[in-house]
Amino acid sequence: MSEQRMLEGKVAVVSGAGGGIGREIALAMALAGAKVVINDIGASLTGEGASATPAEQTRAIIRQRGGEAAISTESVAEWASAQRIVQATLDHFGRVDIVVNNAGILRDVIFHKMSPEDWLAVINVHLNGSFFLSRAAAPHFRAQEGGAYVHMTSTSGLIGNFGQANYAAAKLGITALSKSIALDMKRYNVRSNCIAPFAWSRMTSSIPAETPEQQARVAKIQQMTPEKNAPMAVFLASDAARNVTGQVFAVRHNEIFLMSSPRPIRGIHRGEGWTPELIAEHALPALQDALLPLDRSGEVFSWDPV
């Protein structure tokens, strides 16, 4: 099967497709034969303002390359507007086969200074938005007995990062949402997977670059251009991935990783039960060597992108 036409005859809706990773996924899906609905409200990185221009630019590129695309500027962060995104997809192209949950904003701030507004704004777009848009497409996937969800997660949630309690919580929540969708909709031949992308885009442009060490880190991230994530999204949306569901992949420049899910790593049993004192005296020493380090994404992915 040619990669160029892996999505022939399919219709995809890609949220946050006005720039960065979302745009590259939309472009790649169009090249692979899909008709694409470009969903983007054209807001700032923190979610303010709105403009159709980013989505129009993505559509123009697709059309220049001979593809078909339409635009939706509705927000994923509300139930009714997410329904309208899917309805617009049906109105334009008559069906929906692929949902890519990529839309996102950032409100990075250290936890003890994070406001309720910072928390809710990020949760609403990333986590609620992924549910709303996925749920809006679910009846159509069920009726046609087929469909594919591709959700964007992040190692900020899978592993950890400073100043991103809102973003990390949303992104780890998305992996649980995806697994639940995969379990609940397997009977309808519907698949759901996650990608943790590494890329230099508007979402990472806020990383500090003041000290030589920070500048070196940013230079490495800048090597990882957004289009490096698009092939995995096209694959997961295609029939070639018919047996792949409930998984989390990370894409880092030319590297692909299958990420683990939480599983028991060590256990201890006491027939007569436990008291807090016995836990301190016996359980903790037995488990101590297996306690997970308080690490961050950059410490786990500690080597240069290859």
CA distance 306 to 275: 50
Question: Are 24 and 256 spatial neighbours (Cβ–Cβ below 8 Å)?
Answer: no
- Which burial class, exposed, middle or buried, applies to 74 when counting CB atoms under 10 A from its CB (0-12, 13-18, 19+)? buried
DSSP, collapsed to helix, strand or coil, labels residue 11 as: strand
156's enclosing H/E stretch is helix 155-158
Residues in the chain: 306
Count of H helices and E strands in the chain? 12, 8
Structure tokens at 51: 């403009």
Neighbours of 157 (CB within 10 A): 22
Active site residue 149: no
Structure tokens at 6: 């892996």
Report the amino acid identity of residue 128.
N
Pairing of strands 248-252, 255-258: antiparallel
Give the distance, in angstroms, between the CA of residue 148 and the centroid of all CA atoms in the same chain. 14
Tell me the residue type at 271: G
Q: Which of 141, 149, 167, 198 is catalytic?
A: 167
DSSP 48: -
The neighbour count for residue 250, using CB atoms within 10 Å, is 23
Q: Estimate to the nearest angstrom the gap between the alpha carbon of 244 and the chain centroid.
A: 16
Residues tagged active-site: 167
